[in-house]
Structure 1
Amino acid sequence: MKHYATIWLLIVSLAFFTLCGCTGSSEVIENDAVKEDELLTVRLPGGDWGFPTPFAHYARGPGVSHMRYIFDSLLEKNEEGLIPWLAEDYEILEGGTRCIFHLRPDVYWHDGTVLTADDVTFSFNYYREHLPVWIDDPLILSDDYLLSIEKNGEWTVEFILASPNATFLEKAGRLPIIPAHIWSRIERPDEFNDPEALTGSGPYILTDYSKEHGTYRYAANQQYWGPQPRIDILEFIPVSDEVLALENGDIHFAQVPADLLERFTDNPLYEIMEQPAFWGYRLRFNMLGLPEFRQKELRQAFALAINREELVEKIARGQGIPGSMGMLSPDHRWFNPNLPAYEYDPGKATEILSSLETPARESYELLVGEDAEVRIGELLKEQLARAGINLTIAPSDLKTRDSRIIEGNYELVLVGHGLWGTDPDYLRQRYSKETEDWLNGTPGYENSAFSKLAEKQVREMDEEKRREIIMEMQEILAEDVPDIPLYLRVTVNVYRRDIYDGWIHIYDHHEPTHNKLSYLEK
């Protein structure tokens, strides 16, 4: 068993974190056997996204991706769909109520311990008591739904479910597996930031992290069980101007605005890569706090008073597409194109406002984040004023804005996020009448017909039948307008092809640097 390289990296990491108190440092860690200049190092734009364990990273895409570099899951995603990962095979039996995962027998934790079925059963049972930061649907862990999880030998795990669930494979298969021999003694996982907390089975090992400076440094796990890492050292460093940093060679991958693309189009050092429209902005209503927002006519008036095409042109500089009131991205595989367009019509919006049973208020506060969100807010203020709706813009930093959302402390809020391309069951989670999730859901919205369809689709194991239900759900949402999808970004990335050219998009996500397959042999 040749795990000396992995163990050496772990020892270096332990020494580093012990000396630096887990806050990171700017010093370079070197292995005397392999000089730094002989390794392939790729540098990406950074920023602090939390300590990358399943319990301490920040609940946004970059935070999740940092965690996934270290921790593997039973299944992974590629360009086409779900693929076996820690599980080399799986079976769906008894109409979808029994799921069996067959594990690979050759997987080791970063400390050299064998990963077995005990780790998988432990992970799910531990998550029942201590939810990870990112979980697609806590329902899959509830005692009422997940009736049992048992190991059958060292390499087989069996799940028994109360009812069929079309999304179980994705939601359970993508939960990170954690080592039982480390986490079994941890009572407060959100406070566990010792170096051994970063012991995973994934392709990269964290060797440097600075919360203060927003930097991360990963070294390839040379004894990785799966496709081998192509990048030896992966560094994330904050930059004030991604385009300038790319041109100066400080980073090797950047998002580039449309009006600056010509600086790279004819240069053989660079490759241009367009993202699918799976990251976008929504305008959300606080229906519990402001009862008038429960009137769909008022929400429809807002939709008609907003010029989404103008937002794309002025804010996204043409790099985007207007959102659909059915809530799925037009790039989604199950997008319904036959929905009301809600073309810009402030006159019609004014007519609707004048006939409301519960009148709109004279003014509303719009909570926004920073930078582009402030500009979006100001443009929305101009547009809505033409229909007689006045806004006060309240900017805040990202974490403060998200905290206020969780508390329900807003009137209107602008949110930008990814995951618009994932399984459309997120429509159920977001708009079901049972939701109490302020961060991702829409408390106060209720449509019994929608809720019935939402529950029906999640139990439908026939994909074509389920697709038809999702189409109907979009029709209801387009009529009700519980949120307003403003626009989705079609971002263009530029990268140094002479440094690294392995970037790929998985089938449901916009950002190639977020998925671990971009860093591995194909």
Structure 2
Amino acid sequence: MKRFLAIVMALFIFISLTACSGPAKNTDSMKNNGTKEDEDVVVRLVGGDWGMPSPYLHYSRGPGAYKMQLLFDSLLEKDEEGIIPWLASEWDIQDSGKEYIFTLRDNVTWHDGEELTLEDIKFTFDYYKNHSPVRNSLIVNGKYIVEDVEIIDENKIKINVDSPNATYLERLGSVRILPKHIWKDVEDPNKFDSEKAVIGSGPYKFVSYNREQGSYKFNAYEDYWGPRQRVNTIEWIPVSDEILAFEKEKIDVISPSPDIISRYENDEKYTIKKNKGFWGYRLILNMEKRPKFKDVNLRRALAYGINRQEMVDKVARGAAKVASMGYIPREHIWYNENIEKYDYNPIKSKELLKEKSYTFEILTGNKGEEVKIAELIKMSLKDIGIDVNIKSVDMKTRDNAVKNKNFEIALIGHGGWGNDPDYLREIYGGENGETKSLSSNSLPGYYNEEIIQLCQKQMKELDKDKRKEIVFKLQELIAKDVPQIPLYNTKSYFVFKTSKYDGWMYTYDHHYPEHCKLSYLEREK
């Protein structure tokens, strides 16, 4: 019965896992495959300042988080198919989904040579309760989900949670473990910026970080417990022209625009991959600052009045798909195609507006692509009687404005659209109508009781098929209500020189190989 419950709980991952109380992959067998002992592989990537790569000081967007995760391991990881064992060699779920028991691997050490123990794991979960890191998967509806942590054997630890929940296995498994001997005396982790703050147990050790240049350097950790590192050194370096730097072999991968991809298509030196459509743009409507957005007819008029296909054609140059108004993208395994599509229809928009006119401000980043999107929106909406003023700022300023709800309409782009569909709750339906989410996901002033109730219900439903039905219904309601306007999901390219390094891979829920820890490690044959 316990094994059956464990399997049921793990099924919220979009395809079935091999088992829940045993390893889905034999990661031990990956350790000594393939890499030549005398070959030092250095991979150089595009730089940029994403903060110091500690769990508390990296910038909240993906490039900051994924650098940190190369240094810090977690109990579980992800590959192309789903969740796999990592620091924990196996797990079991008991007490109707309220107890998670993880078995720690042997011979795991920190980068300073100290042994990683169950005390470190217990300390981490206790520490995150009082000191929330940049990304804290352990907070749901504003509450910390872990009730207590108990060491029950020399290599087993039990984590008791507040309730059965379809998302908790991944939440617990993704926590980045901290070394107790370093962090136990740190009272303010947001000010802890010494090199000790980046000592982890991951496959790579911190070497250097230059905030002004946006450069980083990591070296392979020689005593790593797990799969051998295929890449000895990873560097992020500043470049002024990515294409030129790539062709002069100063960097090793690029994501070129569709209009220049032909330069690499017929050249055997290069491999081209098409990234998954799990990165996208959307318009957030601030209903607190502009209560007029609470009128569903205005929101629907905006959806019909914005020519999103024109953005795909002119801005993304065809390398994108118009986003679903139900938010979950087309490549997601739980995408519901039977929802309202909102094709461009200015006549329908004018009918919904009933001759009313409005003026709004769109806040956008200063990247050329974002400014072009904003300009196309401005032109489309002008035709239906809505004037738009564009305010363009740098990315961090825009993100902070969204976090502080200091905007009318915000144009924002980010990844994460391939994640577990519980993100619908984080975006659209927090407890008591209050959205508990990352700053980029807030919908200020939005409230829909039916959506909120379904958002809460889906994460507590342990039956996969029943949960999927709820998620499909949520997409229908969200598309009908238009709380925000998803614009398009990118289908960008990933190009690399095959002879330099060819280990790049995608996890099942992410759009970019550079961010995947397993891209740099030996894989099981």
Distance, in Å, in 2 between the alignment partners of 1:136 and 1:353 is 41
Distance, in Å, in 2 between the alignment partners of 1:502 and 1:140 is 38
CA shift in 2, pair 1:295/1:136, >3 Å:
farther
Unaligned 5+ runs, structure 2: 1-37
Matched residue, 1:431? 428
Give the CA RMSD over aligned residues. Answer: 1.4
The reply on whether 1:366 has 2:367 as its aligned counterpart is no
The reply on whether 1:483 has 2:480 as its aligned counterpart is no
The Cα offsets for residues 101-151 of structure 1, whole Å up to 9 and x where unpaired, read as 1111221111111111111111111111111101245128945x4221111
The Cα offsets for residues 214-246 of structure 1, whole Å up to 9 and x where unpaired, read as 001111111111111100111111222222211
Deviation at 1:309, TM superposition (A): 0.7
Q: Secondary structure at the match of 1:264?
A: helix
**Aligned ranges for residues 71-150 of structure 1 at < 5 Å?**
71-136=72-137, 138-139=139-140, 142=143, 145-150=145-150
**Aligned ranges for residues 127-206 of structure 1 at < 5 Å?**
127-136=128-137, 138-139=139-140, 142=143, 145-206=145-206
Matched residue, 1:375? 372
Q: Secondary structure at the match of 2:120?
A: helix
Distance, in Å, in 2 between the alignment partners of 1:427 and 1:241 is 37
For 1:71, the aligned partner's letter is F
Deviation at 1:42, TM superposition (A): 0.9
Deviation at 1:163, TM superposition (A): 1.3
Distance, in Å, in 1 between the alignment partners of 2:377 and 2:245 is 32
Q: Secondary structure at the match of 1:466?
A: helix
For 1:94, the aligned partner's letter is D
Distance, in Å, in 2 between the alignment partners of 1:59 and 1:198 is 16
Task: Verify the 8 A CA contact 1:140 1:168 in the aligned structure 2.
Answer: no
The Cα offsets for residues 169-194 of structure 1, whole Å up to 9 and x where unpaired, read as 11121010010000000011111111
Task: Verify the 8 A CA contact 1:128 1:141 in the aligned structure 2.
Answer: no
Deviation at 1:375, TM superposition (A): 1.1
Matched residue, 1:68? 69
Distance, in Å, in 2 between the alignment partners of 1:38 and 1:504 is 21
Distance, in Å, in 2 between the alignment partners of 1:332 and 1:436 is 23
Q: Secondary structure at the match of 1:100?
A: strand
Matched residue, 1:327? 327
Distance, in Å, in 2 between the alignment partners of 1:339 and 1:139 is 28
For 2:426, the aligned partner's letter is Q
The reply on whether 1:276 has 2:276 as its aligned counterpart is yes
Distance, in Å, in 1 between the alignment partners of 2:148 and 2:462 is 21
The Cα offsets for residues 289-318 of structure 1, whole Å up to 9 and x where unpaired, read as 111111111111000001111100101011
Distance, in Å, in 2 between the alignment partners of 1:146 and 1:124 is 8
For 2:387, the aligned partner's letter is N
Task: Verify the 8 A CA contact 1:165 1:458 in the aligned structure 2.
Answer: yes
Deviation at 1:348, TM superposition (A): 1.0
75-84 or 88-97: bigger deviation: 88-97
Task: Verify the 8 A CA contact 1:298 1:360 in the aligned structure 2.
Answer: no
Count how many residue pairs are aligned between Structure 1 and Structure 2: 481
Task: Verify the 8 A CA contact 1:292 1:360 in the aligned structure 2.
Answer: no
Match of 1:421 among 414, 418, 422: 418
Matched residue, 2:511? 510
Matched residue, 1:384? 381
The reply on whether 1:407 has 2:408 as its aligned counterpart is no
The Cα offsets for residues 227-270 of structure 1, whole Å up to 9 and x where unpaired, read as 11100111111222222211111111000111111111121111
216-225 or 155-164: bigger deviation: 155-164
Distance, in Å, in 1 between the alignment partners of 2:416 and 2:258 is 23
For 1:88, the aligned partner's letter is S
For 1:491, the aligned partner's letter is S
Unaligned 5+ runs, structure 1: 1-36
Distance, in Å, in 2 between the alignment partners of 1:471 and 1:137 is 25
Q: Secondary structure at the match of 1:332?
A: coil
Distance, in Å, in 1 between the alignment partners of 2:465 and 2:406 is 40
Q: Secondary structure at the match of 2:261?
A: helix
4+ residue stretches of structure 1 with deviation over 4 A?
none
Distance, in Å, in 1 between the alignment partners of 2:357 and 2:453 is 30
Task: Verify the 8 A CA contact 1:124 1:141 in the aligned structure 2.
Answer: no
Matched residue, 1:34? none
Deviation at 1:360, TM superposition (A): 5.4
Task: Verify the 8 A CA contact 1:209 1:216 in the aligned structure 2.
Answer: yes
**Aligned ranges for residues 215-226 of structure 1 at < 5 Å?**
215-226=215-226
Matched residue, 1:252? 252
For 2:308, the aligned partner's letter is R
For 2:177, the aligned partner's letter is I
For 1:373, the aligned partner's letter is E
For 2:255, the aligned partner's letter is Q
Distance, in Å, in 1 between the alignment partners of 2:238 and 2:492 is 19
The Cα offsets for residues 371-414 of structure 1, whole Å up to 9 and x where unpaired, read as 21111111111111111111000000011001111111000000
Q: Secondary structure at the match of 1:303?
A: helix
Matched residue, 1:209? 209
What percent of counterpart residues are identical? 45
